[in-house]
């Protein structure tokens, strides 16, 4: 294979391992190496992150990350490509080319989803010292066929995974909120609890009279949960690990290797 030129600025370090893979007709090299944590000053001490389907993430600071809904927007195109595939003769070159078009369409959906998730998680970990996020049962939610597509488009598991390793990289702490914590049903002002249907998008407290957006109220409750978790003696936001962090980078090498 010889030397491969890349556009990525790789650090001067020994690569621990690498993997060559093929996706939708393109070839990639995935490298793993260790870096030192990039500790930086945080804009906020605490933040609560509420993951949703309508919006990708709602922060307790009021910031909202929109959900690109890549799969939903590409559904018509994918359906058309699948219909065209059925018309091709099995074993023919035209059928193979059509399958490649479908693979590239699915890869584009995946890339759009990853791009939105990476931008959101990087901002959260760079600017917040303590991050509270729900420990959602993504696989259990996927078993509901009515919500499976929307849950997959929201990328719940990947969002939590990226928060976990980027927090180490940027010197943040993560508090996983119990999945049974009623963040949606509690009032963030007085902690009064009342049942909420999925159709109710506004939380109106019967005790203190506060009126908040449903998801923003949940994000505030998650932040309060994280604050209480760090109120335990000996568990403060400044107790962050400075050990080296292992990261991975994936490089598109189709132009370098000359594969067709």
Residue 124: closest CA among 176, 178, 160, 157: 160
Residues 257 and 205 in one domain: no
Question: What letters, b where the CB count within 10 A reaches 16 and e where it falls short, cover 95-112?
Answer: beebeeebeebbeebeeb
For residue 80, tell me if it sits in a domain. no
- pLDDT at res. 152: 81
pLDDT at 257: 40
Residue 71's Cβ-side half-sphere holds a number of Cα atoms within 13 Å equal to 12
**Number of Cβ within a 10 Å radius of residue 47:** 24
Residue 180 burial by Cβ neighbours in a 10 Å radius (0-12, 13-18, 19+): exposed
SS3 74: coil
> What whole-number distance in Å separates Cα of residue 88 and Cα of residue 91?
9
Tell me, yes or no, whether 88 lies in a domain: no
Together in a domain, 200 and 258: no
Residues 181 and 52 in one domain: yes
8 A C-beta contact, residue 225 and residue 177:
yes
Give the integer Cα–Cα distance in Å for 141 and 154: 12
Q: Domain check: are 171 and 222 in the same one?
A: yes
Domain count, the chain: 2
Domain hosting residue 250, numbered range = 1-36+244-260
- Straight-line distance from the first to the last Cα atom of the chain, in angstroms, rounded to the nearest whole number: 15
56 lies in some domain: yes
DSSP for 178-242, written as a single string? PTT--TTTB-TTT--B----TT--EEE-TTT--EEEHHHHHHHHHHHHHHHHTTSTT--TT----
Answer yes or no: is 105 within a domain: no
pLDDT confidence of residue 1: 65
Q: Do 44 and 156 have their domain in common? A: yes
Q: How far apart are CA 220 and CA 26, in angstroms?
A: 44
User: How many other C-beta atoms are found inside a 10 Å radius of the C-beta of residue 88?
Assistant: 15
123 shares its domain with 177? yes
Block mean pLDDT (10 aa), the chain, length 260:
70 72 84 80 92 91 93 92 94 94 94 94 94 84 76 86 92 90 90 87 89 93 91 51 54 41
Residue 187's pLDDT is: 92
Give the list of residues 6+ apart from residue 54 with CB closer than 8 angstroms, or none: 67, 215
In this structure, are 259 and 155 located in the same domain? Answer: no
21 and 139 within one domain: no
Q: Is residue 102 part of a domain?
A: no
232 and 251 together in one domain: no
Q: What pLDDT does 101 receive?
A: 95
pLDDT at position 14: 67
In a domain, 90, yes or no: no
Looking at the structure, do residues 163 and 216 belong to the same domain, yes or no?
Answer: yes
> 6 and 60, same structural domain?
no
* pLDDT (0 to 100) of residue 37: 84
* pLDDT score at 240: 46
Helix (H, G, I), strand (E, B) or coil at 248: strand
pLDDT at 159: 93
**Residue 62 located in a structural domain:** yes
pLDDT of residue 146: 74
Quick one: 193 and 164 in the same domain? yes
Catalytic annotation, residues: 50, 134, 215
Q: Is 228 inside a domain boundary? A: yes
């Amino acid at each position: 294979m010889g030397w491969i030129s890349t556009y990525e600025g790789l650090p001067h370090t020994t690569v621990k391992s690498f993997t060559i893979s093929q996706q939708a007709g393109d070839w990639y090299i995935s490298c793993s190496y260790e870096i030192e944590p990039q500790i930086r000053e945080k804009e906020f001490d605490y933040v609560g992150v509420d993951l949703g389907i309508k919006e990708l993430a709602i922060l307790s600071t009021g910031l909202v990350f929109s959900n690109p809904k890549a799969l939903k927007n590409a559904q018509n195109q994918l359906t058309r490509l699948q219909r065209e595939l059925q018309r091709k003769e099995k074993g023919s070159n035209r059928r193979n080319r059509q399958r490649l078009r479908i693979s590239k369409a699915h890869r584009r959906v995946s890339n759009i989803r990853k791009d939105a998730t990476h931008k959101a998680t990087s901002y959260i970990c760079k600017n917040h010292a303590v991050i509270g996020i729900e420990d959602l049962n993504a696989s259990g939610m996927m078993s509901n066929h009515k919500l499976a597509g929307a849950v997959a488009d929201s990328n719940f598991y990947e969002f939590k995974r990226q928060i976990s390793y980027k927090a180490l990289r940027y010197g943040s702490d993560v508090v996983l909120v119990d999945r049974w914590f009623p963040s949606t049903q509690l009032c963030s002002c007085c902690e009064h609890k009342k049942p909420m249907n999925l159709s109710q998008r506004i939380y109106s407290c019967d005790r203190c009279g506060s009126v908040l957006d449903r998801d923003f109220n949940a994000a505030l409750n998650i932040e309060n949960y994280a604050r209480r978790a760090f109120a335990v003696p000996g568990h403060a936001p400044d107790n962050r690990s400075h050990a080296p962090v292992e990261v991975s980078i994936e490089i598109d090498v189709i132009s370098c290797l000359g594969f067709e």
